Amino acid sequence: MTDSVALVTGASRGIGLAIARRLVAGGWRVCVTARTPEPLAVAAHELGGPDHAIAVPGKADDPAHQADAVARTIAAYGRLDLLVNNTGINPVYGPLIGVDPAAVRKVFEVNVFSVLGWIRQAWDAWLGGHGGAVVNVSSIAGLQPAEGLGAYAVSKAALIHLTRQLAIELAPAVRVNAVAPAVVKTEFARRLYEGHEVELAKRYPAGRLGVPEDVAGAVAYLASPDAAWVTGQTLVLDGGLLQTAQL
């Protein structure tokens, strides 16, 4: 995939940065986005600087930022082959019925509506006329109820269905797939495993929690020619967790 170009959102650290790193290692050039400029600039430098990566900071759910990032990617590298929608938020915890409706709306703005916005921008600017792929980062929380994570879980379920819907609507030019990780050891998920990682890992047949590179490898596959006949799918990355009775 040498000379292919990707835009990865939420890529200043964690899963997004691991995805960008994996793509660059495979010969891709990338645009990385995230809300905070300083760590994003550090990430782009780590990825090899302008010859390999550019950084465009901004809020994921800001249409102006979406348009700017897509335009700057194409201006820098001449094309856009892959969009990875990794940005996600989970600012609330507890029973969904008691969550502030404004907070639920914000979760959906970032986790669902902004994804559609990014895809529209990429489609209009390049993918619609040249083809390519989209990979959305969902969660196993979108496949079953998740105690305390209701708003996040429902938004990730919506993202999985959005993936399926757009796989039909954008075919055959663009393949649209998703990945659905279980607990991955990132700063974002720290609250879910910190202080009890060993016990939690025992629930996983694979014997451990996920790491960002597990997700990056799956995304790289879905972006590659090896997945040319794969669209509308959600690849579950859970170390076998959903196959057990200990959910």
> Is the pLDDT reported for residue 71 higher than 90?
yes
Is 152 considered catalytic here? yes
pTM of the prediction? 0.95
Rounded average pLDDT over 97-125: 97
Higher pLDDT, 246 or 61: 61
Residue 43 pLDDT greater than 70, yes or no: yes
What integer best gives the mean pLDDT of the chain?
95
Quote the pLDDT of residue 247: 45
- pLDDT tens, position by position, 150-181: 999 999 999 999 999 999 999 999 999 999 99
Contact predicate 30/8, CB 8 Å: yes
Domains of the chain with CATH codes: 5-182+209-235 (3.40.50.720)
> Where would I find the H helices in the chain?
14-25, 37-46, 63-77, 101-108, 114-122, 128-130, 150-169, 190-193, 197-201, 212-223
Residue 214 has pLDDT above 60, yes or no: yes
Interval 82-103 mean pLDDT: 94
Could you tell me what percent of the chain has a pLDDT over 70? 98
- Among residues 77, 152, 193, 221, the one annotated as catalytic is 152
